[in-house]
Each structure stands twice: as C-alpha cells, then as structure tokens.
Amino acid sequence: MAEIKNRFDFVYIFDVQDGNPNGDPDAGNLPRVDAETGMGLVTDVCLKRKVRNYVQMAKNLSDGYDIFIKEKAILNNLIDKAHEEDDVRNAPEAEKTLKARDVMCRTYFDVRAFGAVMSTGKNAGQVRGPIQLTFARSVDSVVTLEHSITRMAVATEKEAEKQKGDNRTMGRKATVPYGLYVCHGFVSANLARQTGFSEDDLNLFWEALKNMFDCDRSAARGLMSARKLIVFRHGSMLGNAPANDLFDRVKVKRTSSNVARAFSDYEVTIDTTNLPDGIQIEELI
C-alpha cells in the first residue's frame, strides 16, 4: 500500500495492578519513578519492545514484517545481509548505502515504524521513524513495594548441604499496587514517506497497542491492560493543529476519594467541542 498521507497524534492509556511495568536496572529493577513527584514512569523503549514482540508473533517474521531489534539478533549480520541483495550489489558505489537502507525499510517493520541507526556494519545509513512515543507517566504518584519471596529449591548441592536439606532460597519482588499511565504518541506522514510506512503498517501498530499486553504476560508485570487509545487524525500531511492543544482535550480525573486501585476509580473525558478544521477524533479503545 501507499505511505500514509495524514499526520496522527494519539493518547495511549494503560494500567498495571500488582506488577512492575518497567524495572530500572540501575535501581535494583524497582519500578521507574520520577524522584521529585513520585509519578511512575514507563519508557518509550519499553513500549516499543512490546509492539515489536506483538508484530513478531502476529506476522511470524513474514516478508516485510521481520523485526530488526529482536532477541539475540546480531545487527551487523542483518545489515550485511541487506548488502547481499542484487539491487544493492549491482548499484554504483555511491548509491549502495541508500539502496541498502531501502532494503532494510522494506524488510523490517520496526525500521519502517521507529527508525534505526544502521551504520555499525556495512553502512545502511540512518532512518528517522514516523512513529515516536513519549515516556508514559502515571496520573497519580505510585507506591513502590518490595515483597520477600521464597523458592523451595536451591541451585547447587553445596547450598543444599549448607541448609541441611532445607533447600530454601529467598528473593525479592518489586511491584506497584496500582498505576494508571498516560503516553503520548506522534505519527509523521512526512517521515512515513521516507520509510514506506503504509496504512496497513499503521493499522498493525494500532492493533499492537490494543493487544500487546495480552500477548506479553509475565509474573513480574502483574496485570497490565490497555484502557484507552484516542487518535487525532489530521486532514493534511503537516497537521492542522498543535499536538499539545489536542492532548489537552483528554482529561483523566480520579473520581474516588479512596486510594486508587482500579481503572473504575478514574474517569477519562474528551472535549470534542470546537475542533480545529481538519481534525477527526477516533476512540480505538
């Protein structure tokens, strides 16, 4: 399909219950928190990882939907492979990098969507992706809890002898009791034209945001759920209104006087009055 012709901005709202949505390896893998406000954070990199995982499962690495940044990938080997394509090998030397970049965009969904630096091996250039995400930030401050856990087993015979057969290992698990997170995203039609990001690709991305938590369950992450996906579609490639003005139309308010422990403790409203010309709002969740 042809590349997308319209700019999109979107608000993505998800929550976590009794889980760690995004551990910080520099803080003992505790949930990420804004130190000044106590608001929980989930990085854009974490969310893109889940999108990649969903696309990999949904498309099974089929033609045009391979994933460049995937588990155990050796990136330079993938870049070198692009240079083995006939249209790259047969291209003039000055055009090889551009041709290799085009092969990478056609082959890998995440390169078309998020961009990539591909100059670490045989040069395939750099690509700015049309989809960009902000950090997700919780609506209210979150409490980070650590729980002691027990494993009724040990790793070595030496440990068993030391415990006289008790075979018990203690550990720690960090969770957030509840957090509602808001992420903002942007889809550039101009950059989509450069990578070949199509309407089909965009629909797959929306599908991933709606379903990726259900396909990426983990005991460490607790119960994570996609709650709202609000999309602002512009009537032009460059856009019809500033993104921040559109995002301000989405309000998330806590309605319960108790400590929030469920999505039902919040209300999400969208101001649809006096929309700028050319702007359409779609609620995909």
In tens, the pLDDT along 168-177 reads 777 888 999 9
The model's confidence at residue 134, banded by pLDDT at 50, 70 and 90, is very high
Looking at the DSSP bridge assignments, the partners of residue 268 are 252
Nearest to 10 by CA among 258, 276, 155, 202: 202
Residues 6 or more apart whose CB falls under 8 angstroms from that of 29 comprise: 20, 23, 174
Cα–chain-centroid distance for residue 213?
10
Say yes or no to pLDDT of 47 above 80.
yes
Nearest to 136 by CA among 187, 179, 173, 188: 179
Say yes or no to pLDDT of 199 above 70.
yes
**How high does pLDDT run on average in the chain?**
91
Please state which of the ranges 65-69, 80-84, 133-137 shows the lowest mean pLDDT.
Answer: 80-84
**What does the pLDDT read at residue 6?**
94
Q: Percent of the chain at pLDDT above 70?
A: 100
Higher confidence at residue 180 or residue 166? Answer: 180
The model's confidence at residue 269, banded by pLDDT at 50, 70 and 90, is very high
Residue ranges with strand state E in 192-243: 223-233
The model's confidence at residue 1, banded by pLDDT at 50, 70 and 90, is low
Nearest to 224 by CA among 32, 71, 50: 50
Say yes or no to pLDDT of 54 above 90.
yes
**What does the pLDDT read at residue 149?**
82
What pTM did the predictor assign? Answer: 0.90
